[in-house]
Amino acid sequence: MALLKLLLLPALATAHFTISAPPSVGPFDEDTEGTSPCGGVTLDFTKDNVTDFHVGGEAIELFLGHPQANWLFRTTTDLTASSNWTQIYPIFTQTGTGDYCQEAVAAPASLVGQQGVLGVVCDGPDGLLYQCAAVNFVAGSGNYSTSSCKNATGVSAAFASDSSLTPLVSTDASQTNGTTTASASSSSSASSSSSASAAPGLAPSMNGLVGSIAAVFVAGLLGTGLML
């Protein structure tokens, strides 16, 4: 498995990930996507496309160019995106390359009326990668397009723990009490020491090794084809 990934890394190195909704602040640059906190992009709320994020649940549409990665969703009202991040959804593993859409990711109701940043961090084969969206936190639940909010065929997900992602949210006990505010999910939290639990809204991953290897192969072939 490790050997396979190593062999395929060169072909996948530029695949990375993108957020299509809420719209990420650009310009997108795959070469600086590993730069915290927003992939090398400097936010400017006077110029950026600031879109509404419904705290009752907003769809987050992702594209993953790797066969597997872990995702962290976080928000802050620090408009420079440099501090005070709150986790808003349990960390999970996506298995399978391509589109992934989580339909109803909630944020703390206390944010309504404020501007802020939605940060998405991807922990994949080439390390941590970052993208941000500039948002207005508003009340209610968001609508989403069923044509753009979709999962690629064969993509699955399962909650997971990830010691690289966990430190990227605030540890200030007065705000998070050392746990997360994963309000979109009833009980699961990334601070849990167990990994890959099944939970509402996320199906358990297909039985690991065989599926993963197949996904790596398919993605590797696709990646190589696209590079040529």
- Distance, in Å, from the CA atom of 148 to the CA atom of 139, rounded to the nearest integer, reads 23
Q: Residue 175: exposed, middle, or buried by beta-carbon count in 10 A (0-12, 13-18, 19+)?
A: middle
Nearer to ligand NAG, 8 or 111 (CB): 111
Among 1, 6, 29, 49, which residue sits at the site for ligand NAG (rule: CB under 6 A)? 49
Q: Does residue 52 interact with Cu ion by CB under 5 A? A: no
Least separation, in Å, of the C-beta of 113 and ligand NAG? 12
Q: Does residue 39 interact with Cu ion by CB under 5 A? A: no
208-227 vs 2-12: helix crossing angle, rounded to 10: 30
Least separation, in Å, of the C-beta of 82 and ligand NAG? 11
15 and 69 in contact (C-beta within 8 Å)? no
**Region from 62-70, 121-129, 146-154, 218-226 binding ligand NAG, contact rule CB under 6 A:** 146-154
Q: Does residue 32 interact with ligand NAG by CB under 6 A? A: no
Tokens of 90: 């349990």
Tokens of 79: 């408009």
- Distance, in Å, from the CA atom of 144 to the CA atom of 80, rounded to the nearest integer, reads 27
Q: Of Cu ion, ligand NAG, none, which one sits near residue 49, judging by CB under 5 to 8 A according to partner kind?
A: ligand NAG
Tokens of 127: 């390390």
Nearer to Cu ion, 4 or 104 (CB): 4
Among 109, 203, 221, 226, which residue sits at the site for ligand NAG (rule: CB under 6 A)? 203
- Distance, in Å, from the CA atom of 119 to the CA atom of 98, rounded to the nearest integer, reads 19
Least separation, in Å, of the C-beta of 141 and ligand NAG? 7
Q: Of ligand NAG, Cu ion, none, which one sits near residue 202, judging by CB under 5 to 8 A according to partner kind?
A: ligand NAG
Which residues of this protein are in contact with Cu ion, per CB under 5 A? 15-16, 126
Which residues of this protein are in contact with ligand NAG, per CB under 6 A? 23, 49, 51, 77-78, 84, 86, 101-103, 108, 110-111, 140, 142-143, 149-151, 156-157, 175, 177, 201-203
